Amino acid sequence: MSIRLRLGLWYGTLAAVLVAVFGAVVFSTVAAYLREDLRRSTERLADHFVESAQGRTDGASAETLMQAFAAPDVTVAVFDSAGRLLAATPPASPGLAPDEGEGTATGAAPARAERLPPFVRGGYRAERAIPAPNVFSVDEPVRAVVLGWFFTRRLMLDRLLRVLVVSGVLASVAGVFIGWGVAGGALRPVSMMVEAARRIARSQDFRHRLPTAGSRDELGQLTSAFNEMLAELEKAFENQRRFVADASHELRAPLATLQGNLELLERAANLSEAERRAVWRDIRDEVRRLGRLVSDLLSLARAEAGQGLHLLPVELDRVVTDVLRSMRNEVAQHRLVVEHLEPVQVMGDADRLRELLVILLDNAIRYTPPGGEIRVGLGHTPGPEVALSVADTGIGIAPEDLPHIFERFYRADKARSRATGGTGLGLAIARWIVEAHGGRIEVESQPGQGSRFTVRLPAARPASPETEAHT
């Protein structure tokens, strides 16, 4: 069952319940008013009958008296002290007779001296003593019983009930159709989302967007969120497609070189030993390049999968010292300057932070000519951060290339050629490592003057004296 149909049925049910409650209140109120009106009318009629009977003195006038009070919804009956019916207005006289077998009591009628017709039940009864019994040709006390019927009023209530039932049915049907229409209009953005999702699934084109009418209700917010999701999916899909294309292109070059060198070794049997060594050296370099490329691709794949880092307190100054010691051979042709190295502790992954510094140093070594200077610094900043900087006096980066250097496989024309042996993924991995630690990476560069990469990471909070005492 669709949501639209369920909403329509809910609207119809709600309308039926509301009309039923309203009808019950109206019906009970009107019925109570009519019963009270019947009581007052019966009491007034009984008093009026007694007053009229007191003014008559001959027995012949009893029939005239009874005819004067004949009414379609009132019965007036007169009984003697033994409970015998002396006079009654039609149509109740056939039903007003003493029960057979019931005894009588002197001066009072039995408790069940009269039987009421079924259609009188639920009405109102008023008894009055008549001090002038001679009107009915008897010398003993008599009493008048006035029965107010509910017949006319029952007809009114029956008509009211029919009106309420018909109104309830019509309100329920109208509620279903109104709910169907309202739900259709309210769920139109959802239907558009379903159609857009199906269209995207068929075409694999994430450029589709839902039209926004400027509404700020929940459905308008849902439409905006859906469009934002489509934009993110489009960007992710484009990044994935470009990543696959770039990775294929990057893998093709070393594989082609390997294939060419192997075919050369297979076909050229008269190569000299020096030429063979050169070919094997090229194969070795390409295999190493392939290994670095695959390792970088694996790191990025883990980053894309949202793989988190296990953060522990790390003394970053020791990490910097270890990396500089391990890379002293690579930096041998350059002048390495440690600007400052303060004791710094951060919450991080030591292996990833070591990889970050290796990437930055390797980047500086590749694009700084021999004899150039590479400067490394680590220290606290005025805020709750620490700053790790790697600067060089290399060829620098053009201003138009700066916004793109952290993209995968991006190489500037001058500063990022494949001749240096890089994979084009180092800075993308460096940015992921920094962001996974809750930091940010900044770059400043001038063509021909060098570049400076600055990594800012949150500083670890120093342990309190109480914590140190417990540990």
Report the phi/psi class of residue 87: left, alpha or beta, with left for phi > 0 and alpha for psi in -120 to 50.
beta
| Confidence check: pLDDT of 150 > 90 | no
C-alpha to C-alpha distance for 394 and 233, rounded to whole angstroms: 38
pLDDT digits (tens, 9 = 90+) for 159-209: 888 888 888 888 888 877 777 777 777 677 777 777 777 877 777 777 777
Confidence band, pLDDT 50/70/90 cuts, at residue 320: very high
Give me the pLDDT at residue 55, please.
Answer: 63
* CB 23, CB 168: distance < 8 Å: yes
What percent of the chain stands above pLDDT 70? 77
Domains, the chain, ranges and CATH?
3-93+116-155 (no CATH), 218-304 (1.10.287.130), 312-463 (3.30.565.10)
| Confidence check: pLDDT of 59 > 60 | no
C-alpha to C-alpha distance for 56 and 54, rounded to whole angstroms: 6
Span 393-404, mean pLDDT?
Answer: 86
| Confidence check: pLDDT of 222 > 70 | yes
* CB 168, CB 16: distance < 8 Å: yes
Omega before 91 within 30 of 0, i.e. cis: yes
* CB 271, CB 265: distance < 8 Å: yes
Span 315-328, mean pLDDT?
Answer: 90
Which of 336, 32, 5 lies closest to 181, judged by CA? 5
| Confidence check: pLDDT of 87 > 90 | no
| Confidence check: pLDDT of 391 > 90 | yes
| Confidence check: pLDDT of 154 > 70 | yes
